[in-house]
Amino acid sequence: MSAPILAVEGLTMRFGGLLAVDQLSLSAARGEITAIIGPNGAGKTTVFNCLTGFYRPTGGSITVTHENGETFRLERLPQHHIVRDARIARTFQNIRLFGGMTVLENLMVAQHNRLMREGARLPLALVGFGPYMRREAAAVDRARFWLERTGLIERADDAAASLPYGAQRRLEIARAMCTEPQLLCLDEPAAGLNPRESDALNELILFIRDTGADGRGCSVLLIEHDMSVVMTISDHIVVLDYGRKIADGAPAAIREDPKVIAAYLGVDEEEALAVDAALQKQ
């Protein structure tokens, strides 16, 4: 097996006196869906923020290895290179769309770096001629592809802010996929979805894992509270509590791990019940 797409070693993130992530090591295998779960405040989103360059970690290393063997040390990269070169994309827990731009425009912004590389800098591109225009048409096609996959094609010319909640979540995923990532980080994508939407989401995430942006699949890192989603689609689960990893393994192993159950029971009854319900269902 090749090197994991993501290897986190001894990641530490300290905010003043608060140790949000403590010596965390985890890895995500290529072509798999890795879920990060844990009670509220366990440091999951902080890990995402370190991965995607919003925070500079206090310590530790984050290594991304592409299929061709190229490696990137994310903790040293400027943020825009993390997306452009290491090819990591993310969504947000509280949806962040460009609300006043249309759905299609949102997806075009996501392709900014590629379009700039493909000749948008040429003066001809500015006046609307030249080979660049073909590239732009290709970008619209790519956007169209993801709009069809996410069922948003009918709403392509509407303002992103005017979409219903579930559609906004899907749009955010479509937008992240338009950057053509190798690793997609989803922060609670199922939050607030109804069961039908949640099922569609599962399908979408599985499609992304197997097909991805270029037909070769895309690894997925997933933060989720909805245990039915986690247990259904994850290939691998990492459990965090108080910024530390308390368990790591296949879903079947995690669901019987006493430490995990204790963490959930000890912290949040509601979530512990959710785990329990998920166990019953499986």
Q: Which stretches of the chain bind another protein, using CB under 8 A?
A: 45, 49, 52-54, 78-84, 89-90, 92, 96-102, 104-105, 108-113, 115-116, 120, 125-128, 140, 144, 153, 156-162, 175-176, 179
Which residue, 5 or 247, has its beta carbon nearer to another protein?
5
Which residue, 11 or 278, has its beta carbon nearer to another protein?
11
Strand order from edge to edge, sheet including 6-15 = 18-28, 6-15, 59-65, 71-73
Which residue, 16 or 258, has its beta carbon nearer to another protein?
16
Q: In angstroms, what is the minimal distance from the CB of 91 to another protein?
A: 8
Half-sphere exposure at residue 96, Cβ-oriented, CA atoms within 13 angstroms: 8
For 249, phi then psi, to 5°, come to: 170, -170
Which residue, 25 or 113, has its beta carbon nearer to another protein?
113
Q: In angstroms, what is the minimal distance from the CB of 17 to another protein?
A: 16
Q: In angstroms, what is the minimal distance from the CB of 81 to another protein?
A: 8
Q: In angstroms, what is the minimal distance from the CB of 262 to another protein?
A: 30
Q: In angstroms, what is the minimal distance from the CB of 260 to another protein?
A: 27
CB 239 within 8 A of CB 38: yes
CA distance 134 to 220: 31
Exposure class string for 45-84: b at 16+ Cβ within 10 A, else e: bbbbbbbbbebebbebebbbbbeeeeebebbebeeeebbb
Which residue, 8 or 88, has its beta carbon nearer to another protein?
88
Q: In angstroms, what is the minimal distance from the CB of 32 to another protein?
A: 22
Triad 49, 196, 256: Cα angle to 5°: 60
CA distance 202 to 220: 12
Which residue, 33 or 171, has its beta carbon nearer to another protein?
171
Count of C-beta atoms within a 10 Å radius of residue 246: 16
Which residue, 126 or 250, has its beta carbon nearer to another protein?
126
| 261 sits in which H/E element | helix 258-267
CB 5 within 8 A of CB 182: yes
- The residues that bridge with 21 in the sheet, in sequence order, are 13
Q: In angstroms, what is the minimal distance from the CB of 106 to another protein?
A: 8
Helix 132-149 vs helix 103-110: angle between axes, to the nearest 10 degrees?
Answer: 120
